[in-house]
Structure 1
């Protein structure tokens, strides 16, 4: 069984939208991320940037990319 890893935080040199901070922290607090490796956390960090574009800059052109990334992470709510 792999050891529990230290979970990263969002970089402090960026003014993250509150929605992105809450989204990222939900992943940090979820037990499913306890054993994620560096590649998985890098994907979440990259997705946080896209998330911030949508929620902080109202860049709705990034919605398709955000949707693709969230689906890849297993976040689908379709029947």
Structure 2
């Protein structure tokens, strides 16, 4: 299935050290401001009519502008997401055949936990919440059940006649 798969392994961690046949291009990165959803016209029959963004798409667009990922979006990212907004609008207007394309496109931006994991995205606050201990704050299984021991012979009283 297109759009699914693991992130390529870091070349320094590969078992085989064959030189990449395609050289890497390093780009200068510049953060871009999010554009507003544009006003435009679409053909409807023989005439041009004003396109109306569904309220759900306007909410979706605002969510992306306010997302933690947005601070890493360049101008081409916003343009791609703007095209995706049109797909989102058509999906919410009843064109359900666009669901697969919409899913693939939003995955490229880390819309779901699995997409963020594939893109190796983590939330910085999660690291600080546990003071770097890798714990949620709830008692560990060892703390809760550490004193439990199996009975000699490995059997319990369950199943025996009373």
Instruction: Give unmatched runs, 5+ long, in structure 1.
Output: none
Cross-structure match for 2:3: none
> Does 1:22 pair with 2:49?
no
Higher CA-based Rg: 2
The structure that is helix-richer by fraction is 1
TM-score (norm 1): 0.80
Residues 27-69 of structure 1: CA distance to partner in whole angstroms, max 9, x if unpaired? 112243134211100111011011011102x001111111111
Cross-structure match for 1:70: 106
Partner Cα distance (2:56, 2:102) in 1: 14
Partner Cα distance (1:6, 1:75) in 2: 19
TM-score (norm 2): 0.42
Cross-structure match for 1:51: 88
Cross-structure match for 2:150: none
Q: How many residues of Structure 1 are paired with residues of Structure 2 in the alignment? A: 76
The structure that is strand-richer by fraction is 2
TM-aligned CA distance change 1:3 to 1:72, over 3 Å: closer
